[in-house]
Copies of this chain bind each other. A is one copy, B any other.
Amino acid sequence: ISFAASYTDSSDDETSPRDKQQKNSKGNGDFCIKNIKQADFGRREIEIAEQEMPALMALRKRAQGEKPLAGAKVVGCTHITAQTAVLMETLSALGAQCRWAACNIYSTQNEVAAALAEGGFSVFAWKGESEDDFWWCIDRCVNVEGWQPNMILDDGGDLTHWIYKKYPNMFKKIKGIVEESVTGVHRLYQLSKAGKLCVPAMNVNDSVTKQKFDNLYCCRESILDGLKRTTDVMFGGKQVVVCGYGEVGKGCCAALKAMGSIVYVTEIDPICALQACMDGFRLVKLNEVIRQVDIVITCTGNKNVVVREYLDRMKNGCIVCNMGHSNTEIDVASLRTPELTWERVRSQVDHVIWPDGKRIVLLAEGRLLNLSCSTVPTFVLSITATTQALALIELYNAPEGRYKQDVYLLPKKMEEKQNGEMVNPKASLLLFFLGAW
């Protein structure tokens, strides 16, 4: 998810958006955002994003003929970014009506929300919502006179949860749920097990394509980007240890090797270790190299991979960061002791200084580097967004009875049918993904 800065925030006033009278230039006021005046700037961001979302743009072109979402009333709860805006405007072009809230209180790009509101979308979101604001926004999306959703697009399950809790009757008209996150999918499977899932749901998190893109291909680029933006470090000749050789680790290792770093790998899974070895990385224990490396990157998914003992032994200037799925791979808590001095030298960059003057460079306080200090390429988000759109189309148009009250993966046949037709360049989903092929 892109947390790219909302450049003009600082000049905004402090009044809560909920307390303001809001209208767009056409007089429409069915939205609640930070500042409608940022719409033009947000439109620019959306236009940039469109350049890297060829699949959605291709879907729009198709929609000039058919409107596969005609009559669909989609309520959505996702990060509100330029990429989401491209998705929403695509859904709209395909015939859907949309109402939208944010799935995260910090991630909204205010200027994009403004552009959407200006464009006629009912958006309820701003950067820096309180928890109360968060649920208020979601409620404003669903609790409307004379409009009832028939499709849910969720990221994290909060929207679904809210409807379950407050408006269970609404499910009678709902044809299905499309859920993107690990957490949300987990909740759906629990509902399903408990016999409480009352509409079909589509799990768009677990697809080969998405996994490869979110991890291997994406991290191959974001590790470089995240390190550069924060530290301007030169990669050539640096010694780096990468902890973990799953898809994320593979991406990190490949990128750094290509930039001329000397890369070591720690790995406890034998198959992954063997792959690291056959890919030409020296397998080590962290212990063996901790004194000599210039950069330490964690991507194991485990806790406390880099503990205080290791931090104590790193050399002066060592950069430490986390690309894994947990915020606890680096034992940052162990560094909050009186003898160590913390110095914030840049946004997301702390120098932690030992009594003898040694300093290590800690990025994003051990949180995910690729989310905190890099941007997820629009192209990757495009894969997800296209999959979401396809899942909505599938669920909305499926004949009665094809999908029960269960959690489904995007039907392989659909993917195959569309992708398989690579001989017919017009029809291939892959082509959408790749754009210009």
Contacts and interface: CB of A to CB of B under 8 A. Distances in A.
A260 interface: yes
A271 B209 CA distance: 7
A280 B254 contact: no
Contacts of A422: 268, 270, 273
Contacts of A134: none
B221 A259 contact: yes
A232 B377 contact: yes
Contacts of A212: 274-275, 278
Interface residues of A, number: 82
A260 B255 CA distance: 10
Interface stretch (A15-23, A31-39, A167-175, A427-435): A427-435
Given A220-B259, A280-B257, A422-B273, A233 B377 contact: yes
A395 B303 CA distance: 37
Contact of A236 (B217, B225, B282, B346): B217
A70 to B, nearest CB: 25
A330 to B, nearest CB: 18
Nearest to A216: B278
A437 interface: yes
B415 A270 contact: yes
B420 A270 contact: yes
Contact of A234 (B48, B217, B268, B419): B217
A229 B212 CA distance: 23
Nearest to A10: B10
Contact of A292 (B48, B52, B436): B436
Interface in A204-257: 208-209, 212, 217-218, 220-221, 224-225, 228-229, 231-237, 239, 254-255, 257
A44 B345 contact: yes
A335 to B, nearest CB: 17
A124 to B, nearest CB: 26
Interface in A363-408: 374-375, 377-380
A72 to B, nearest CB: 26
A67 interface: no
A211 to B, nearest CB: 11
A48 B344 CA distance: 11
A254 B262 contact: no
Contact of A254 (B225, B258, B346, B423): B258
B436 A239 contact: yes
A217 B260 contact: yes
29 contacts: A44-B345, A45-B345, A48-B231, A48-B346, A48-B349, A51-B316, A51-B361, A212-B274, A217-B234, A218-B234, A220-B259, A221-B235, A221-B236, A225-B228, A228-B228, A228-B374, A233-B379, A234-B377, A234-B380, A236-B280, A237-B277, A237-B280, A257-B280, A260-B277, A260-B280, A273-B422, A274-B434, A283-B437, A285-B423
A345 B225 CA distance: 21
Interface in A249-303: 254-255, 257-263, 268-271, 273-275, 277-283, 285, 292, 294
